[in-house]
């Protein structure tokens, strides 16, 4: 699904090995101070190539706010943000068995079932690069909630498999 939400509507676009990925956020109220420097720290956290466990793609993931602000303040109109793909390599996927068959443990199969097509380069919309748009929208929502309501958001992992940070209790089972 490319669009979700009601009051804060988020529409994502772009593919992993296309020119860019981005997001349109509708429902951001006017008057919120917002620049790229408010969104970039969250994108830096999800940026690839920072460990041996992620893709080796070298992407800076620099966000550009294209619409919805003026002089660093939201206008109440749809907010458009884009990130250019700098290290896209669609040719890495051409003329191979990956072109013909869905990859194991990837969303290629579900994408093929839902839309009837398979993006041949890197999973297209089913790539982890699509999360750039969701992270950017989340950074905007987080800033709004903090400034408008004093809300802070914290998340962490409490267990991995049978290893628990806190022992399970009846109120908080595994």
DSSP 8-class letter at 79: E
Tell me, what's the pLDDT at 165? 83
Judge whether 129 and 19 are in contact, CB under 8 Å.
no
Q: What does the alpha-carbon distance between residue 146 and residue 136 come to, in Å, rounded to a whole number? A: 16
Tell me, what's the pLDDT at 121? 59
Tell me, what's the pLDDT at 76? 98
Q: What is the pLDDT of residues 88-120, one digit of tens each?
A: 655 555 556 656 677 777 777 777 788 787 666
Q: Which CATH architecture has domain 3-164?
A: 4-Layer Sandwich (3.60)
Tell me, what's the pLDDT at 57? 64
Q: What does the alpha-carbon distance between residue 117 and residue 104 come to, in Å, rounded to a whole number? A: 17
Q: What does the alpha-carbon distance between residue 147 and residue 138 come to, in Å, rounded to a whole number? A: 14
Tell me, what's the pLDDT at 56? 64
Q: Mean pLDDT per segment of 10 residues, for the chain of length 174 residues?
A: 90 88 97 98 84 69 97 98 79 59 75 75 68 96 97 87 79 66
DSSP 8-class letter at 78: P
Tell me, what's the pLDDT at 96? 60
Stated pTM of the model: 0.80
Domain boundaries, the chain: 3-164
Q: What does the alpha-carbon distance between residue 135 and residue 28 come to, in Å, rounded to a whole number? A: 15
Tell me, what's the pLDDT at 84? 93
């Amino acid at each position: 699904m490319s669009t979700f939400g009601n009051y804060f509507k988020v529409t994502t676009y772009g593919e992993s090995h296309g020119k860019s990925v981005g997001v349109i956020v509708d429902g951001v109220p006017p008057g919120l101070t917002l620049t790229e420097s408010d969104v970039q720290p969250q994108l830096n956290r999800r940026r690839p190539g920072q460990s041996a466990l992620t893709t080796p793609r070298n992407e800076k993931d620099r966000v550009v706010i294209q619409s919805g602000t003026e002089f660093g303040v939201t206008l109440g109109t749809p907010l458009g943000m884009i990130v250019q793909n700098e290290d896209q390599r669609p040719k890495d996927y051409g003329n191979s068995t990956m072109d013909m068959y869905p990859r194991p443990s990837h969303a290629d199969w579900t994408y093929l079932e839902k839309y009837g097509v398979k993006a041949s380069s890197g999973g297209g919309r089913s790539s982890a690069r699509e999360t750039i748009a969701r992270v950017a929208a989340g950074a905007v929502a987080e800033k709004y909630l903090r400034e408008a309501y004093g809300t802070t958001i914290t998340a962490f992992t409490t267990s991995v498999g049978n290893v628990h940070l806190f022992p399970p209790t009846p109120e908080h089972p595994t």
